[in-house]
Structure 1
Amino acid sequence: MNRCGSGKRGVRPAGGAVRGAFASLLCCGALLGVTASADDSGGSWFDAIADWFTGSDDPTENATPNDVHRASLDMLAEIRILREELGADDYPAEAEAQDDRAPLHVYAKSLEVMSKVSRVQRKLGMPVSKVGQIPVKVIGAGDVLVSVSTILDELRKIKSQMVIAREIEPAPLEAGKTTSMVYKNLADASFLLDGLVGRPLNPNDVYLNTQHLLDDLALIADRLRAPVNEEAPPVEGRKTPKDVAQQVLRASYKMVNLQTRLGMDASSVPTLTLVRVTPSEVYDATNMLLAETMRVKHHLGIDVLREERAPPRNKQPGDVFAQVLLVIMNLDELMGSVS
């Protein structure tokens, strides 16, 4: 069964054409499934951002990594309050220092954080926020600021639901911050949320990311008129997260190759130590592959969003391993179509 094109599964057209910076901001908020609903103080996430800026109708227009970093520190402070008040008793990992992270990668990481926030909401019996997808556009600091501020808004809804009155001390605005620093804060937030969700990321989560990758690669194949492989190759023996991570690295290098052949500025390959690999690290690497796939879609003018999928169940590392091999096979087909 094919994955793309007219009458094929796995795609839906994006919303109508949205023009202007402010409309793009609203579109980004819609993709995250968030409305400008009021928080406890009567203001929305947009109002909160507007408090940080003056002289512009669009408060994210002049956003910098410094602004996003401040918002990410506030986000971490809110998560720590929730952990203390709700009795999280795990010992969260701390993310490693990052480098070469672009706003696109930080945005992708923010969606991971939002997915965990939505799981916390579901666990507490609250209305669940929709996570959404990376919009097919050039992602800037303003887009990331909106995403992080949306996470803040959802965290404060949890506090309100659980009648937690403690307030954070807002972080100061500091100079010299980078997108890589923001990425690390989001990675730390993801680890901290595991104690509230009740479990870390597992093979089911990584498997779902591989399905999203295959759907997006099918869209690209349709544009490049490349064949699409549907059947994953057989896998022998028991596989570990490290085995899967090695194949994700292979796929990352092939993505760089494809971007180069398409005349794009290729991104750097994610760093994986391959010493002690967890599903969370593999998920992060596949998340970055999804971000790079979006860049290819934008380069080719594919303004189409993939169809959402139901979360899989009972997947093992071997199942994920096979799907990553299928991703690699389809990347090879794409490279062959532009060589």
Structure 2
Amino acid sequence: MKGLLYIWDSRKVLTILITMIALSVSTKSMASTPSEVYQSTNNLIFHIEQIRLNKNITSVAKKPGVQIAKTPIHAYTKALEVFEKVIRFKEAHNWSHSKIPSLPEKNVTPKDVLDLILVIIKELEDVNNKLGISVKKNSPLPEGKTPSDVYENLWRASYLFDGLVGAIEPTYVYRNTVRIEKALQKIAKKLNKSTAIIEPTIIQKQKPIDANISGYKVLYKLAVLEKELDLIAVRVSGFPAGKITPSDVYDTTNNIIAELTRINVHLNLPSVPDVDLSTEKITPSNVVFQFKKIELLLNNISS
């Protein structure tokens, strides 16, 4: 009898071990690496280039600088930027399209970024079909890629799409600053901090470089807040070289939104809210004004 029990127990243990190994293998197979995500961005860029060829777009797209210290949430926000441009292109042609997803309310993984990019690729394949472009692409899998590489490639894709829908305008940058302001107000309430500020004076004739400088000040203040919240502080990249455009400022706001997403997850708050585009004429002066308000809010929140 004891022998039978021993055999039964051994089989039970063996079954459990096999199940654990199977689950481990399954989990690993479902996970995605930054290199796999980078591979998908190459496929995405290929489709954009085919559309540019079809539309006879010969202008040279601006190239992004080398990116550092980016994480999956940064890449996710950059992918959303590309997604929005694809939707703008489809809307200009009165074509149906998927809805752009909201920011996640959890820690973002490479798989989340990959899933989003695959949705964008489907949208681009639909565009190709409508334009009569019948090509497929499966880029080789690179090695040793990081979220920073993914981010840089997505920014390259975004610049390539500018030839099809036009570059980012201050209206889009302003919308992001309004989203940032609303998110910070919720963070302030969560931390029992005041949201009352003395509204700054709007300064006329500001330029994109002025707006980007203001955005970088916000990033540095966010780094301070993250340290106070026991989060790994954002590593602010170097200020971009060359002429600063609204696209650069938009990129800065995307990075701010990525950091606010990290803070929201940490504080168990909803994602950064979506807002509609302003119907009024927006200039860099309006963007700087918003950044000043955001700085004041951060001054209230940080101890």
TM-score with structure 2 setting the length? 0.87
1:22 equivalent in structure 2: none
User: Which of residues 181, 184, 196 in structure 1 aligns to 2:152?
Assistant: 184
1:120 equivalent in structure 2: 89
Pairwise mapping of residues 196-235 of structure 1 onto structure 2 (< 5 A)?
Answer: 196-197=164-165, 199-229=166-196, 232-235=199-202
2:116 equivalent in structure 1: 147
Change (3 A) 1:108 1:261: same
Change (3 A) 1:230 1:131: farther
Pairwise mapping of residues 1-339 of structure 1 onto structure 2 (< 5 A)?
Answer: 61-165=30-134, 167-197=135-165, 199-229=166-196, 232-273=199-240, 275-303=242-270, 306-335=273-302, 339=303
Q: Deviations over 1:13-63 (max 9, x none)?
A: xxxxxxxxxxxxxxxxxxxxxxxxxxxxxxxxxxxxxxxxxx977798310
Question: Structure 2: 5+ residue runs without aligned partners?
Answer: 1-23
Letter in 2 for 1:293: L
Give the conservation status (yes or no) of the 8 Å contact 2:184–2:298. Answer: yes
CA distance in 2, matches of 1:210, 1:149: 28
CA distance in 1, matches of 2:226, 2:88: 34
Identity percentage of aligned residues: 29
Post-superposition shift, 1:313?
3.6
CA distance in 1, matches of 2:197, 2:277: 18
Give the conservation status (yes or no) of the 8 Å contact 2:171–2:277. Answer: no
Letter in 2 for 1:236: I
CA distance in 2, matches of 1:113, 1:156: 14
Change (3 A) 1:230 1:158: farther
Give the conservation status (yes or no) of the 8 Å contact 1:270–1:285. Answer: no
Post-superposition shift, 1:264?
1.1
**Alignment RMSD:** 1.9
TM-score with structure 1 setting the length? 0.78
Give the conservation status (yes or no) of the 8 Å contact 2:68–2:237. Answer: no
2:10 equivalent in structure 1: none
Greater shift in the superposed pair: 184-193 or 128-137: 128-137
Question: Structure 1: 5+ residue runs without aligned partners?
Answer: 1-54
Post-superposition shift, 1:168?
3.4
Q: Deviations over 1:300-333 (max 9, x none)?
A: 1113552532444410010111001011111111
Letter in 1 for 2:183: D
Post-superposition shift, 1:230?
6.6
1:28 equivalent in structure 2: none
Q: Deviations over 1:175-228 (max 9, x none)?
A: 21111111111000000001111x100110100000110111111112112122
Give the conservation status (yes or no) of the 8 Å contact 1:207–1:312. Answer: no
Post-superposition shift, 1:251?
0.5
Letter in 1 for 2:233: A
Letter in 2 for 1:329: L
Greater shift in the superposed pair: 227-236 or 55-64: 55-64
Greater shift in the superposed pair: 87-96 or 59-68: 59-68
Q: What's the secondary structure of 1:306's corresponding residue?
A: coil
Bigger helix share = 2
Post-superposition shift, 1:88?
1.9
Change (3 A) 1:232 1:130: farther
CA distance in 2, matches of 1:168, 1:155: 11
Change (3 A) 1:111 1:58: farther
Post-superposition shift, 1:125?
1.1
Q: Deviations over 1:146-192 (max 9, x none)?
A: 11111111100111222222x13310112211111111110000000
Give the conservation status (yes or no) of the 8 Å contact 2:175–2:275. Answer: no
**Across the two proteins, how many residue pairs are aligned to each other?**
280
Q: What's the secondary structure of 2:30's corresponding residue?
A: coil
